Amino acid sequence: MTSADQAVDPTAHDSGNKATDKFKANRVSSDTSKERANAIYTDLLAAIAQVAHKHEVTYDEYNVLKQWMIDVGEYGEWPLWLDVFVEHEIEEVNYNRHDYTGTKGSIEGPYYVTNSPKLPWNGEMPMREQDKKCTPLYFEGQVTDLEGNGLGGAEIELWHADEEGYYSQFAPGIPEWNLRGTIVTDEEGRYKIKTIQPAPYQIPHDGPTGWFIESYGGHPWRPAHLHLRVSHPGHRTITTQLYFDGGDYVDNDVATATKPELILHPTTGDDGNHVNYPFVLDKED
Ligand code: MBD
Ligand code: FE
């Protein structure tokens, strides 16, 4: 990285605080009972006690943890750290509570934004001239219910990083809706969208999430991925991600968010990469 790049590089501080501000803007709550909260906290504290005893955690280590947690908050990195290291377990648990047979979900991650611009069923993602120089990805398919009926008017929200691994609205200097859009399917549920081939991606690692990863000798990479949220009235909304066959880190994702069913097998043409992926939506519970 040259010093000229540094001025526009998003620091962990920038992207973290943006993710925290976006999360805070939408105050959340849960109807968890006192009994359930008691059971959860009892087990959580017991798990911490077990680790402390098993590893004979020192006072220095305890104080480093305290300091690190303060840093994570100040850098706004709780959405990042939690989504990378915990969300996949929550996603799995909640999938297993139902008898879903439609398209598998995956984690949302910290960079989803609601209300991205509507695009026609056969549109092109908003992109800059520099993005147009990347390998085009022609991504098409059909959204259906479990019986195979096409779901017209289904919405496919798509968001992904640019070639350098930056997401609009979380890195500075990128147009607000770059590589973000809501594709509306045609009467038969079809979509045919032009975007660009995403690249493997390092999560922001110049802040406390990066220090954490370095402290245990890990790496900050995620495989190249597309983020999607697919919805249609009366059907279960799925939040998922798609990956690329044979891509780096598909088997070694820092966020543990890949699944075999979510791996695309594109073909390469003269005009770019082409791939078809069907989305199957379960009925709403
Ligand atoms: C990402 O792009 C992402 O998908 C996740 C899960 C965490 C950090 C950045
Ligand atoms: Fe991502």
Q: How far apart are CA 113 and CA 207, in angstroms?
A: 23
Q: For the whole model, what pTM was predicted? A: 0.94
Please compute the mean of the pLDDT values over residues 111-126 and round it to a whole number: 97
Bridge partners, residue 238, by sequence: 230
Task: Name the nearest CA neighbour of 158 among 83, 232, 229, 238.
Answer: 229
Q: What is the distance, to the nearest Å, from the Cα of residue 95 to the centroid of all Cα atoms in its chain? A: 17
Q: How confident is the model at residue 12 (pLDDT cuts 50, 70, 90)?
A: confident
User: What is the mean predicted confidence (pLDDT) over 76-104?
Assistant: 97
pLDDT at 14: 84
Q: Percentage of residues in the chain with pLDDT exceeding 90?
A: 94
Mean of pLDDT values over 116-134: 97
Reply yes or no on whether the pLDDT at 134 is more than 90: yes
Residue 8 has pLDDT above 80, yes or no: no
Does residue 82 surpass a pLDDT of 70?
Answer: yes
* pLDDT given for residue 2 in this prediction: 37
CA distance 231 to 237: 5
Going by alpha carbons, the residue nearest to atom 3 of ligand 1 is: 109
What integer is the mean pLDDT of 2-20? 66
Q: How far apart are CA 175 and CA 135, in angstroms?
A: 20
pLDDT digits (tens, 9 = 90+) for 38-71: 999 999 999 999 999 999 999 999 999 999 999 9
pLDDT of residue 99: 94
Per-residue pLDDT of 149-192, as tens digits, reads: 999 999 999 999 999 999 999 999 999 999 999 999 999 999 99
5 has a pLDDT exceeding 80 = no
* CA distance linking residue 43 with residue 49, whole number of Å: 10
Q: What mean pLDDT do residues 206-211 have?
A: 96
The answer, yes or no, to whether any atom of ligand 1 lies below 6 A from the CB of 199, is no
At residue 9, the pLDDT reads 54
Q: Do the beta carbons of residue 140 and residue 157 sit within 8 Å?
A: no
Which of 108, 206, 222, 239 should be mutated for ligand 1, with most atoms under 8 A from CB? 222
**Distance from residue 80's CA to the centre of ligand 1 (Å):** 7
Give domain 8-285's CATH superfamily: Aromatic compound dioxygenase (2.60.130.10)
Residue among 167, 201, 219, 258 to mutate when testing ligand 1 (max atoms within 8 A of CB): 201
Residue 218: predicted pLDDT:
98
- Find out whether 204 and 15 touch, Cβ atoms under 8 Å: yes
pLDDT at 10 (0 to 100)? 56
